[in-house]
Chains A and B, each alone.
Chain A
Amino acid sequence: EAQVTQNPRYLITVTGKKLTVTCSQNMNHEYMSWYRQDPGLGLRQIYYSMNVEVTDKGDVPEGYKVSRKEKRNFPLILESPSPNQTSLYFCASSLGRQGVGGYTFGSGTRLTVV
């Protein structure tokens, strides 16, 4: 089954404690992206990657890092999480650039930073 797998689904952490949210896709897509979803603000792009070792900032990159060492994996790293990073996070991949033709989204990671 074609899918994007994110882990963990739920995470509660404390301010300043580094964390990583993993993302893996099995569709051989070159393009992957991270979004956060907040009430009233919709889906906002954090970072995206067009291929292995090629990443770039989205609309809200501050406080986040990403890496793309393998085509299938695109982890999101929060080096020093803060409460304003409490959100619902989605990883997505697409065949077309920047979601043209549609993204396949993961099931989401609900992060709470206290």
Chain B
Amino acid sequence: QKEVEQDPGPLSVPEGAIVSLNCTYSNSAFQYFMWYRQYSRKGPELLMYTYSSGNKEDGRFTAQVDKSSKYISLFIRDSQPSDSATYLCAMSRTQGKSTFGDGTTLTVKP
């Protein structure tokens, strides 16, 4: 079983929809949680970074971490066609390497 499991998708939504992207994990030692966005033929780019439990908001994006359930989410409000990409969750321990989910491909249709 993988340490990090990500909803496989693909996900297709109409423009303006609220999108929820989710990952679960098994290692309770993970403390740092990241979301990356990867456009086609590009490298992943860091979108959100959170430490431990709680919510973090940045514009239309909200990252949520629930350590008790070992569950993290990324919410996108008012989704735009430019949000169409693959989203990767990643997490790490204080002294450990980053472990990535396999990614969820999102398409936002105009």
Chain A residues within 8 Å of B, Cβ to Cβ: 4, 40-43, 45, 48, 58, 90, 92, 97-108
Contact = CB atoms under 8 A, between A and B. Distances in A.
A44 B34 CA distance: 16
Contact of A103 (B42, B44, B101, B103): B44
Main secondary structure of the interface of A (DSSP, over half): mixed
A111 to B, nearest CB: 14
B100 interface: yes
Contacts of B97: 45, 48, 58, 98-99
Interface residues of B, number: 22
Contacts of B94: 100
B contact patch SS: loop
Contact of B98 (A41, A99, A107, A108): A99
A108 B40 CA distance: 11
A89 B94 CA distance: 25
Interface of B: 32, 34, 36, 41-46, 49, 88, 90, 92, 94-98, 100-103
A105 B43 contact: yes
A102 B49 contact: yes
A90 B32 CA distance: 21
Nearest to A108: B43
A104 B102 contact: no
19 contacts: A4-B43, A41-B102, A42-B88, A43-B44, A43-B88, A45-B97, A45-B98, A48-B97, A92-B43, A98-B92, A98-B96, A101-B49, A102-B49, A103-B36, A103-B44, A105-B45, A107-B41, A107-B42, A108-B41
